[in-house]
Amino acid sequence: MSGFSARTDFPRTWNPLARALAERRDRGLPLLDLTETNPTRVGLPSPELALLAHPGALGYAPEPQGLLSAREAVAAYLASRGAHVSPAHLVLSASTSESYGWLFKLLCEPGDNVLVPAPSYPLFEYLTRLEGVETRTYRLPRAHGFGLDVEEVAAARDARTRAVLVVNPGNPTGHYLREGELDALGRLCAEAGLALISDEVFSDFAWDEEPGRVPTVAGRELPMLTFSLSGLSKVAGLLGLKLGWTHVGGPDALRDEALARLELVADTYLSVNTPVQLALPGLLSHAPRFQEALLTRVKENRRLLRQARPSDAHWDVVPAQGGWSSVLRIPLEPGEEATCLALLDEGVVVQPGYFYDFTRGAFLVLSLLPPPDVFTAALEPLVRVLATSG
């Protein structure tokens, strides 16, 4: 259609699963939703609303990188997690999605590309295309537990590659970047002149302790330009307050040039509102309580899932180390979509692996956030339907 850009011409055809789910909702039939990932809807702790009633909330004194008090609060929060950074190296945005847009503007000319992992959350194709940037996929091998293989990254790049994107831990795979993987990736990026963009929104949600994991690249001395992304959406479960942050690191000259350019980009938009910035110290002080409750929920639901699996089942719970999701490997027959539709007939909603670009097998993705009564009620039909597969 003339008059519109190709960048916004995304497919809008519903697949059979989406149509069946919409029909069930239209009929008012009950659902046990194991795709729920909104922490504000599952009974987890929230902060006091009074935090947003700051005396200066209606004032306006914009700073392109974000108010210093807010950046200091982020730096203090990162320090509490073992990452010591300067507030001067932080840039606030309205979300990590907006941060991605700014970084693609910073690093890429139209037609350049960034390397993105697969399987992963299906967002990057949209964010890059809206900036006139392309994606090239590197696979996360199942043999590596869906961890990073630097040879896959190297094979995916070409002359127009400008950055490598990692999701740490993977979403939905839950695999954390490891020190050896980061070392190898650092050498590749430094030799090829590539930046590293590390999406760390789930980094605070490790299920256990294990040496050798990389919780964040923020504050690390690395040989390439690095961008570490996170925000209130996941850290404190406050999706509606819209505040994200980017830490810029790497060699001093590259870091300072990147910050100078990002300041201009951020100053053009000035998207972060004043009330949430002023409330940020209090909102981040709420984060540990939220995270403790969420991790208790997630680990218990995962325990129930593993316990419900019969010892002779033809399906498995894929090993992982953190995050909010669980991945099931299921038989190739009848496959992902047929299994999802059969579960939907039982009132259980799950996601097929192809939503996340899983290949070489059949997979389902379940959220571990639903309240225990919902999750427990869904397990019996889940196990029964999976018993008929294979």
Q: For the segment 240-251, what is each residue's pLDDT rounded down to a tens digit?
A: 999 999 999 999
Burial of 158 (0-12, 13-18, 19+ CB in 10 A): exposed
284 band by pLDDT with thresholds 50, 70 and 90: very high
112 band by pLDDT with thresholds 50, 70 and 90: very high
Per residue in 186-207, pLDDT tens? 999 999 999 999 999 999 999 9
Can you give the C-alpha Rg of the chain in angstroms?
21
The pLDDT, as a whole number, for residue 363 is 97
The pLDDT, as a whole number, for residue 57 is 86
Q: Tokens 């970084």 sit at which residue?
A: 103
Per residue in 320-356, pLDDT tens? 999 999 999 999 999 999 999 999 999 999 999 999 9
More confident residue, 55 or 203: 203
CA 377 to mean position of chain CA atoms: 27
User: What 3-state class would DSSP assign to 57?
Assistant: coil
Average pLDDT, the chain: 96
Q: Quick one: average pLDDT of 53-66?
A: 91
* Local structure of residue 153 (DSSP, 8 states): H
Q: What is the dihedral of CA 10, 166, 217, 63, to 10 degrees?
A: -10
| Cis previous bond, 372, omega within 30 | no
Q: Is residue 2 predicted with pLDDT exceeding 80?
A: no
For residue 256, give the H/E element and its range.
helix 252-269
Per residue in 118-152, pLDDT tens? 999 999 999 999 999 999 999 999 988 899 999 99
Per residue in 211-229, pLDDT tens? 999 999 999 999 999 999 9
The pLDDT, as a whole number, for residue 50 is 86
Annotate 74-138 with DSSP letters as a single string: HHHHHHHTT----GGGEEEES-HHHHHHHHHHHH--TT-EEEEEES--TTHHHHHHTTT-EEEEE
CA atoms within 13 A on the CB side of 41: 11
Q: Quick one: average pLDDT of 7-20?
A: 92
| Cis previous bond, 211, omega within 30 | no
273 vs 66, 84, 266, CA distance in Å?
A: 9, 26, 13
The pLDDT, as a whole number, for residue 389 is 78
Q: Is residue 1 predicted with pLDDT exceeding 60?
A: no
For residue 382, give the H/E element and its range.
helix 372-387
The pLDDT, as a whole number, for residue 390 is 67
Tokens of 169: 């831990």
**DSSP bridge partners of 226:** 196, 249
Total length of the chain: 390
**Closest among 150, 92, 162 to 117, alpha carbons compared:** 150
**Closest among 299, 272, 330, 269 to 205, alpha carbons compared:** 299
Q: In sequence order, what E strands does the chain have?
A: 32-33, 90-93, 113-118, 134-139, 161-167, 195-199, 226-231, 244-249, 316-317, 325-330, 348-349, 351-352, 362-367
CA distance 390 to 386: 8
Q: Do the beta carbons of residue 88 and residue 256 sit within 8 Å? A: no
The pLDDT, as a whole number, for residue 140 is 97
Angle at 75 between CA 71 and CA 79, to 5 degrees: 170
65 band by pLDDT with thresholds 50, 70 and 90: very high
Q: Quick one: average pLDDT of 371-386?
A: 97
CA distance 133 to 160: 10
63 band by pLDDT with thresholds 50, 70 and 90: very high
